[in-house]
Amino acid sequence: MKAFFETIAVAFSMYSALPMPHVEWKERNLRYVMCAFPLVGVLLGGLEYGWFLLARSIDAGVLLYAAVAAALPVLVTGGIHLDGFCDTVDALSSHGEREKKLSILKDPHIGAFGVMGCALWLLVCFGLYGELYRHTAGLVELCFLFLLSRILSGLSVVAFRCAKDSGLVHAFQSGAARRNAGAILSAMLILTAAGMLWCSPLYGAICLLAALAIFLCYRRMSYRQFGGITGDLAGWFLQMCELMELAALVLLNLIV
C-alpha cells in the first residue's frame, strides 16, 4: 500500500506543479508511474468541468472563460508537456538528420519555431475553448479529454521503441514492469472509452477517433523522424492529442 501511494506522489511530482510529499525515487515506486500518470488528467478534467460550471454561474464572458480554460492545463502541469511540444517543433523544423533532431531535443534552450508553435497552440486552444463555451454539448467529453491523452501517452512510453538509450523514457522502460503496466493502461483505456461512449455515443466516438488518429501519426512520425520516442515526443503527442480532441468536439458542435 505504501508503494501505491508513493507511486502516485512520484507521478504528480513529475507531471504536475502541485506540491507533493518528498518521496525517494526507487524501483518499487517508479515501476508503475505511467499507470498513475492518468490521475493528473482526472484532476485536470475535474478542474475544467468546475471552471465551466463556475463561469456559467457568474455569467463570465467568452474571453475570460477561454483564457482560464486554456491556462489551467499549463498551470497545473507546470508546462512540462508544452516544453516537450516546443522542443519537438524545433527539432522537426530543423529538417536535419536524425542525430541533429535528437540533439535539438536535448538542448534546454527554445528556438524560434518552438516559440511560434507554442503561441499557435495556445491561440488555437483559446479559440476552441471560446467556441465550446457557447455550447454545453460535449462538456463531459471535455473532462475525459485529459484522462484519455495521458493513458495513450503512458501506453506509448511502455510500448513504443525508445529513440535513445538514455533519458526518462528509457529509464521507465528499463525499470518498469512493462507488460503489467501496459495491461493496466490498456484496461484503463477500455474503461475510459466505454465511459465516453456511454455518456454520449456520438461525441465519445468522435473524441476517440481523433485521439486514435493522432496516436498513430505520433508513432509514425517518431519512428521515421527520430527512430523511436523520447519524453519530449510524448509531451508533443499529449498536447496534440488534447488539441485534436478539443477541435473534434467544437467541429461536431458546429455541424450538429
Beta-bridge partners for 145: none
Q: Over 70: is that where the pLDDT of 3 sits?
A: no
Q: Dump pLDDT digits (tens) for 96-129.
A: 888 999 888 888 888 899 999 999 999 999 999 9
44 against 134, higher pLDDT: 44
Output the nine-digit C-alpha cell for 39: 490521475
Distance CA 38, CA 53 (A): 23
Lowest-pLDDT range, 197-201, 207-211, 235-239? 197-201
Q: Dump pLDDT digits (tens) for 32-70.
A: 888 899 999 999 999 999 999 999 999 999 999 999 999
Q: What is the pTM of this model?
A: 0.92
Beta-bridge partners for 229: 162
Is 97 within 8 Å of 225 (Cβ atoms)?
A: no
pLDDT of residue 231: 87
Buried b / exposed e along 131-148 (16+ C-beta atoms within 10 A): bbbeeeebbbbbbbbbbb
**CA trace torsion 128, 131, 135, 137 (10° rounding):** -20
Output the nine-digit C-alpha cell for 164: 535513445
Which H/E stretch holds residue 95?
none
| Structural domain boundaries in the chain | 35-255
Q: Dump pLDDT digits (tens) for 15-31.
A: 998 888 777 666 666 67
Beta-bridge partners for 162: 229
For the segment 165-178, the average pLDDT, to the nearest whole number, is 61
Among 8, 12, 16, residue whose Cα is nearest residue 32:
8
Q: What percent of the chain has pLDDT over 70?
A: 89
pLDDT of residue 52: 92
Among 49, 22, 3, 7, residue whose Cα is nearest residue 154:
7
